[in-house]
Amino acid sequence: MVQQLTIAYECINSIGNSLELEEMLEDIISTFVRRTGAIGGKYIGPDPLDPQHQVHIGRDFEVPLQLTQDIEAFEIHSVGHSLKILDIFIHDGNFLFAFKEQNNLVLLGNMFVNFRTKITNAIEACYNVEQLKKLNKNLKAEISQEKDKNAFNEKLMISQSRMAIMGEMIGMIAHQWRQPITVIGMITNNMILDLHLESFEGKRAIKELETVDKQVHYLSRTIDDFRNFFKPNRLAQYVSFSQIRDELILILGKSFESYNIHLSFEGAMDVKIKTFKNELLQVFLNILANAKDAFGGKNIQGAYVSVKMEAFDQNLKFFIEDNAGGIETAIINKIFEPYFSTKDEKNGTGLGLYMSAMIVEKHLGGNIMVCPKDDGTLFQITIKSVEEQNDVY
C-alpha cells in the first residue's frame, strides 16, 4: 500500500510541470514506467493542432488492435505470448504500458485511474496553450497581411494624391509659361516680318535673340523646379521658411495672380527645421490649392490667403488663413477623411487633405487642425524637427 501511494504521489507531481503536451506526457509516462517496472509506456491521442490526426508520445512497442474507449475503467490486453498491455483511456486518448509480469496490473490500473482528472486538466491546459499559439501565429500572419495591405493602399493614395497635384501643376506651369511664350512668339514674328520686308538689322536681331535665350532659360528652369518636387525625398534636410515660401510662390504665384488672390507669407524667414521638405510642400500645396478653388465664382473683394509661421524650440507652427467663405460646420469634421470632397467628381479626388493629415502625422511628427472663421477657414499645422538618428522614413 505504501509503495502504491509513493507511485501515485510521484506521478501526480509529474503532472503539470510543463505546458508543452509532449514534455508533460513524457514526464508522466517515464515516472510511471520507472516506479512500476513496466518495459515501456506511450500515449496515443489527437493532435491538438490537428484533431483529425493522432500523436504518438513515448516508446514504440506493439499495441492492441482495439483500444479501450471506456472512460470509467481500463483494460488489460495480451500481445504475443508474454506481453501484457495496461490500456487506460483518458481525455480522448489512451495511455499504454507494457509489462512482462502480470502481477498487480489491476491494482496499477485502478491507481492510474484515480488521478484521471488531474491528467485530463493538464492535457486540456496543454491543448489550450497549443491553440493559443496557433491563434497567435495566425493573428500575426493576419496582422502582417493587413500591414502589407495598408502599406499598399497608403502608397496608392499617395500616388493618387500626387497625380492630382500634378494636374494642378500642369495648370500652374501654363500660367508660368504663358508670358515667356508670348514674348518669344512676338520676337520671332517680328524677325520674320523684318526678313520679308528686307529691313533686318543684325544688332537688333542679336538683342532680340538674347531676350529669347533668357526666356528659354526661364522655361527650362521652371520645368526643373517642378520636376524636383516629384523626386523621392527620403532624407530629412534643413529647410527655412523663406525656402518654403520661395518654392510655393514659384509654383503657385502666377496662378493666384490670375485669380486676383493675394498670397502672403509672414514669420521668421531664416528659422530652419530638419524635415522632409517635399512632403511639407505637398501639404501646403494641397491646402493652398483648395483655398484657391474655394474662391471660384464668388467674386470676393480683397481675396487673400496668408501663411504665417511661429517657431517654438524645435517645433514650427504654420497658420494658413483665407477669406473664401469658410467650410460648412456640418462637414468640417469630415474633410480629413479619405475620398471626402466638396468638389464635384470631375475636379476632386477627396485625397488632398486626407494625405496632408497623414503626411503631417506619420512623416513629419506633427498634427493638423482646421477651424471655421466668420469669412473663411484657418488651418493650423504643427511639425517637429526630425531626430538626427531617425531621418529616414
pLDDT band at 207 (very low <50, low <70, confident <90, very high): confident
If DSSP codes are grouped into helix, strand and coil, which group holds residue 336?
coil
For the domain spanning 233-393, the CATH number is: 3.30.565.10
Task: Note the pLDDT of residue 297.
Answer: 73
Which residues lie below 8 Å from residue 121, measured CB to CB, with a gap of 6+? Answer: 16
Q: What is the pLDDT of residues 36-47, one digit of tens each?
A: 888 889 998 887
For the segment 153-174, the average pLDDT, to the nearest whole number, is 63
pLDDT band at 306 (very low <50, low <70, confident <90, very high): very high
Task: Please give the residue that has the higher pLDDT: either 129 or 391.
Answer: 129
2-114 belongs to CATH 3.30.450.40 = yes
Residue 365 in this model has a pLDDT that exceeds 80: yes
Contact 94, 46 (CB under 8 A): no
Helix (H) / strand (E) element for 77: namely strand 74-79
pLDDT band at 345 (very low <50, low <70, confident <90, very high): very low
**CB contact burial 341-361 (16+ within 10 A = b; e otherwise):** beeeeeebbbbbbbbbbbbbe
Q: How far apart are the C-alpha atoms of 35 and 28, rounded to whole Å?
A: 11
Task: Note the pLDDT of residue 200.
Answer: 75
Residue 110 in this model has a pLDDT that exceeds 90: no
Q: How far apart are the C-alpha atoms of 290 and 165, rounded to whole Å?
A: 11
Contact 283, 359 (CB under 8 A): yes
Task: Please give the residue that has the higher pLDDT: either 249 or 154.
Answer: 249
> Would the CATH topology of 2-114 be identical to that of 233-393?
no
Alpha-carbon distance values, 323 to 74, 261, 263, 297, 300 (Å) = 89, 10, 12, 14, 8
- Percent of the chain at pLDDT above 90? 9
Residue 320 in this model has a pLDDT that exceeds 90: yes
Cell of 243: 525656402
For the segment 127-137, the average pLDDT, to the nearest whole number, is 79
pTM: 0.47
Task: Note the pLDDT of residue 229.
Answer: 54
pLDDT band at 233 (very low <50, low <70, confident <90, very high): low
For the segment 179-197, the average pLDDT, to the nearest whole number, is 80
Please, where are the H alpha helices in 197-301? 202-229, 241-258, 277-294
Task: Note the pLDDT of residue 164.
Answer: 60
What is the domain partition of the chain in residue ranges? 2-114, 233-393
Task: Note the pLDDT of residue 388.
Answer: 43
Which residues lie below 8 Å from residue 96, measured CB to CB, with a gap of 6+? Answer: 41, 42, 43, 44, 58, 61, 63, 67, 85, 86, 87, 88
Residue 319 in this model has a pLDDT that exceeds 80: yes
- Burial of residue 123 (CB within 10 Å: 0-12, 13-18, 19+) is buried
Of 81-95, 145-159, 203-217, the one with minimum mean pLDDT is 145-159
Cell of 366: 506633427
Task: Note the pLDDT of residue 392.
Answer: 43
Of 97-101, 139-143, 148-152, 325-329, the one with minimum mean pLDDT is 148-152
